[in-house]
Amino acid sequence: MGAARQSLRCTRAGLSAVAGVRAAGVACGLKKNGRPDLALVVADRPATVAATFTLNRVQAAPIQVSKRHLRGGRFSAIVLNSGNANACTGPQGLRDAEATVAEAARILGRPAGEVFVASTGVIGRPLDMAAVRAGIREAARALAPRGGGRAARAIMTTDTMAKEAAVRFTASGRRVTVAGMAKGSGMIAPHMATMLAVVATDAAVQPRLLQTALREAVAASFNCVTVDGDTSTNDMVLCFATGAAGAPPLAAGTRAFETFRQALRQVCLALAKMIARDGEGATKLAEVRIQGARSAREARRAAETVATSSLVKTTLFGEDINWGRIMAALGRSGARFDPERVDLWVDHVPVVRNGMSLGLRAESAANRRLRRREFALIASLRVGRAEARLWTTDLSEAYVRINAGYRT
């Protein structure tokens, strides 16, 4: 009964499902509307940690501090605030991120080097440190094993729902959990986004192994989701392993580790899809699948070009398969193919064969699929065997409304 054969099922539980983790979410006044805006997540004992960060050249102060602390490989806590990104805030921003860490370390009695920090919200405004300090004190008092849900709510910005996911499996006879929380919901693009995620596991995993597994999981999940093609200055996915499940440390190459990798990927993918589904103004979640490309790189570029095309995305909102826009996006993607050999489907419904319409009846059938909340756009280039898969949303009038008025 090898662990790799366990069928993994994803549930809507969050950090509260992981042994050895306490969390809290409070309102400290960074958001003017009084909503929760500061989350604290603590490992009962120092845990191992891995993280991936935005590739944007402009990196917010908390990213710089957390990157430095990652080198130590140990995790005690993370402070996350919403409402203010602490980005483009210069030396003062860096001092504020460090002061946030120091305050949490002091109150929790942990080394500052094991405390991480993440922020999301408006760029270029100084952080209200009095509010942050008060928030940390209040959150520390509120820490609870069942506080994961409150933490998940406290990191929301324009998100309309809290995002949590969990997967359980058995390793060495112990029940092991991987669970996490995330927030979107604009600036969502491959290579990280306005996106924060904290994933915890009660498995025991060495930092290097954890980093490998996380990098892989992020590549197959958060980096395959796009809302608006933008990439923020604050993105961060952090994963810590408490070992509190009591199972022996996972070793590379074992079935138990394979199951863990799979569970981690599943949790990340579930969170990533929630982010897309809850993308600003999104009413649809579309999987863009490119098949038969010359190379994985060309498949990926073709998928990205289709998934980020404003014209394709408005077509999805309009629920009318204007497939010429998909052809045009493929054509400018740089992928090599013969337009007169391309096939397109919506889910299992064929729309285009050899670059030409299969007729109005086929298009009507495709339009019926587009009326659903979720569907796949599939393009077969028929020049090779490489594939790529991305998730995208439609572009609605609400996206514009939200983003034109976000700051005011």
Q: Given 52, 194, 226, 305, which residue is catalytic?
A: 194
Phi, psi values for residue 309, rounded to 5°: -65, 120
Site for a second copy in 14-53 (CB under 8 A): none
Indicate the residue type of 12. Answer: R
Whole-angstrom distance, CA of residue 341 vs CA of residue 352? 10
Q: Residue 177 has which token pair?
A: 């959990």
Report the first-to-last Cα separation within the chain, whole angstroms: 58
Considering the complex, state which of residue 137 and residue 341 has its C-beta at the smaller distance from a second copy.
Answer: 341
CB 361 within 8 A of CB 195: no
In 320-393, which residue ranges form alpha helices assigned H by DSSP? 323-332, 360-370
DSSP 228: S
Given the rule CB under 8 A, which of 20-28, 42-50, 206-214, 320-328 is the region that contacts a second copy?
Answer: 320-328
Using rule CB under 8 A, residue 406 touches a second copy: yes
Q: Which helix (H) or strand (E) holds 69?
A: helix 61-70
Given the rule CB under 8 A, which of 121-129, 170-178, 214-222, 384-392 is the region that contacts a second copy?
Answer: 121-129
Own/partner pairs for 323-328, CB < 8 Å, 24+ apart? 323/351, 323/352, 323/357, 323/363, 323/366, 326/377, 326/379, 327/352, 327/355
Site for a second copy in 337-366 (CB under 8 A): 337, 339-340, 352, 354-357
Q: Residue 341 has which token pair?
A: 């050999």
CB 268 within 8 A of CB 43: no
Residue whose structure tokens are 């991987």: 178
Considering the complex, state which of residue 167 and residue 303 has its C-beta at the smaller distance from a second copy.
Answer: 303
Considering the complex, state which of residue 122 and residue 134 has its C-beta at the smaller distance from a second copy.
Answer: 122
Given the rule CB under 8 A, which of 96-104, 175-183, 247-255, 317-325 is the region that contacts a second copy?
Answer: 317-325
Among 123, 140, 165, 378, binds a second copy (CB under 8 A): 123
Closest CA to 145 of 14, 243, 20, 12: 20
Q: What is the number of other CB atoms lying within 10 angstroms of the CB of residue 19?
A: 19
Shortest distance (Å) from residue 256 CB to a second copy? 38
Among 29, 113, 246, 331, binds a second copy (CB under 8 A): 331
CB 199 within 8 A of CB 179: yes
Distances, alpha carbon 407 to alpha carbons 62, 75, 183, 189, 362, in Å: 21, 34, 18, 21, 44
Considering the complex, state which of residue 180 and residue 186 has its C-beta at the smaller distance from a second copy.
Answer: 186
308 is catalytic: no
Indicate the residue type of 285. Answer: L
Using rule CB under 8 A, residue 129 touches a second copy: no
Considering the complex, state which of residue 228 and residue 278 has its C-beta at the smaller distance from a second copy.
Answer: 228
Shortest distance (Å) from residue 155 CB to a second copy? 18
Phi, psi values for residue 12, rounded to 5°: -90, 10
DSSP 16: G
Shortest distance (Å) from residue 29 CB to a second copy? 19
Considering the complex, state which of residue 385 and residue 401 has its C-beta at the smaller distance from a second copy.
Answer: 401
Shortest distance (Å) from residue 243 CB to a second copy? 37
Given the rule CB under 8 A, which of 103-111, 141-149, 200-208, 333-341 is the region that contacts a second copy?
Answer: 333-341
Using rule CB under 8 A, residue 373 touches a second copy: no
Given the rule CB under 8 A, which of 75-83, 88-96, 149-157, 255-263 is the region that contacts a second copy?
Answer: 88-96
Considering the complex, state which of residue 58 and residue 144 has its C-beta at the smaller distance from a second copy.
Answer: 58
Site for a second copy in 192-251 (CB under 8 A): 228-233
Cis ω before 185 (30° cut-off from 0): yes
Using rule CB under 8 A, residue 128 touches a second copy: no
Q: Which helix (H) or strand (E) holds 174?
A: strand 174-183
Binding site for a second copy (CB under 8 A): 55-59, 85, 87-90, 122-125, 186-187, 189, 191, 228-233, 308-311, 314-315, 317-318, 320, 322-325, 327-332, 335-337, 339-340, 352, 354-357, 395-397, 399-401, 403-408
Active site residues: 194
